Amino acid sequence: MTVLEDLAQPPKVEVRTRGISRREAWQRRMPLLPALIYIVVVTQIPFLVTLWYSFQNYFFDVPGGAHWTGLSNYKAVFTDANFRGALVRSVVMTATAVIVAMILGVAFAILLDRKFFGRGVVRTLMITPFLVMPAAAALVWAGPMLDPNFGLLNWLLQPFGVHHVAWLSTHALGSVIVVMIWQWTPFMMLIVLAGLQSQPPDVLEAAKVDGAGAFATFGELTLPHLRPYIELGVLLGAIYLVNVFDAVRLMTNGGPGTSTTNLPFYLYQQVNYAFDVGGAAAAGVVTVILTIIVATFALRMFARVFQFEEAKG
């Protein structure tokens, strides 16, 4: 894998790879094997089985079990407008949530990087949304916060001319995305804040002495310094947010219609309501292939980010 070659972190204890004997090589591998075998068995076998089922006609509710059906599941997937819709929605939801959360995260990190009264408390308040159980967050937003008749948000927005808006029926996708942003902004903020605090203060001092304005300093010194942190945040955020299920299932149940159905929820429905194991498997395989394409780029980015990180340490 050429992707990985830029990750240049020499291990602390010297390795003489060429000189080690076969026995020694195996002894080095031994501690790794349990974890490796475990992960291969638990995470790869289900995907192999998925691949197999994607060529089978198999419904839970139809007796007789699975039988070979060739490519018909794939044909169904590619002609299914719902699948395409869910795919597009997944991309839109993930991209919007990640980008907005990152912008807010950078802004709040800059706020929290300054010294002010009660900074620790504010930081603690800020990270709490990320710690709330996603299922709890979804239900609390759907009920006490966004309810059209007694929700807190409508009351807060009343001075701005908002009257009993039924957010989850009129702005369903936006509402779900808002909750995703609310949960993940703290994550982005924490990572960017760590980046800000690792910036050498003397460089900033020098810029100040040279008469650089705040914006110029930020744009030309801070932002380039933050870049790997931002990339890391975007990458990790995207890995988790593309799988968002709790908010969709518990706030809108994919609706109204299919307006908030993302890929995870689509697959969930295929299995739990349509009982279509074969169809869901084919959709799953397509999802995995798309993921691998994206992940190849993501891994490349990872290698770069981690190289930067470790070279510094």
Partner 1 sequence: MTAVPVRAREPGPQKFREMSGKVGWGIVAWVVGIAFFLPVAWMVITAFKPESAAETWPPKFVFSPTLAQFRLVFSGMGPFLTHSLIATTVSTLLVLLLGVPAAYALSVNPIKHWRDGLFFFISTKMLPIVAAIGPLYVIAVHIHLLDSIWLLIILYTAMNLPLAIWMIRSFMLEVPSELLEAARLDGAGRIREITGVIMPVISPGLVSTSLICVIFAWNELFLALNLTVTNAATMPMFLISSVPQEGLYIAHLSAAATVASVPVILVGWIAQRSLVRGLSMGAIK
How far apart are CB 187 and partner 1 at their closest, in Å?
A: 6
Smallest separation (angstroms) from partner 1 to the CB of 203 = 19
Separation between Cα atoms, residue 196 and residue 121, nearest integer Å: 19
Sign of the C-alpha dihedral computed for residues 42, 45, 49 and 54 taken in this order: positive
Among 191, 190, 194, 187, residue whose Cα is nearest residue 129: 187
Whole-number Å distance between alpha carbons of 198 and 286: 41
The least CB distance from residue 13 to partner 1, in Å, is 6
Of 292, 288, 281, give the one whose Cα is nearest residue 52.
281
Bridge partners, 67 (sequence order): 57
To partner 1, the closest distance from the beta carbon of 63 in angstroms equals 15
Q: Which helix (H) or strand (E) holds 26?
A: helix 22-29
Q: Is 49 or 162 the residue whose CB approaches partner 1 more closely?
A: 49
The angle, 0 to 180 degrees and rounded to 10, between the axes of the packed helices 81-113 and 223-241 is: 140
Helix, strand, or coil (residue 57):
strand
In angstroms, give the least distance from the CB of 146 to partner 1.
10
Nearer CB in complex with partner 1: 75/119: 119
* Smallest distance from partner 1 to CB 170, Å: 18
Distance CA 230, CA 196 (A): 11
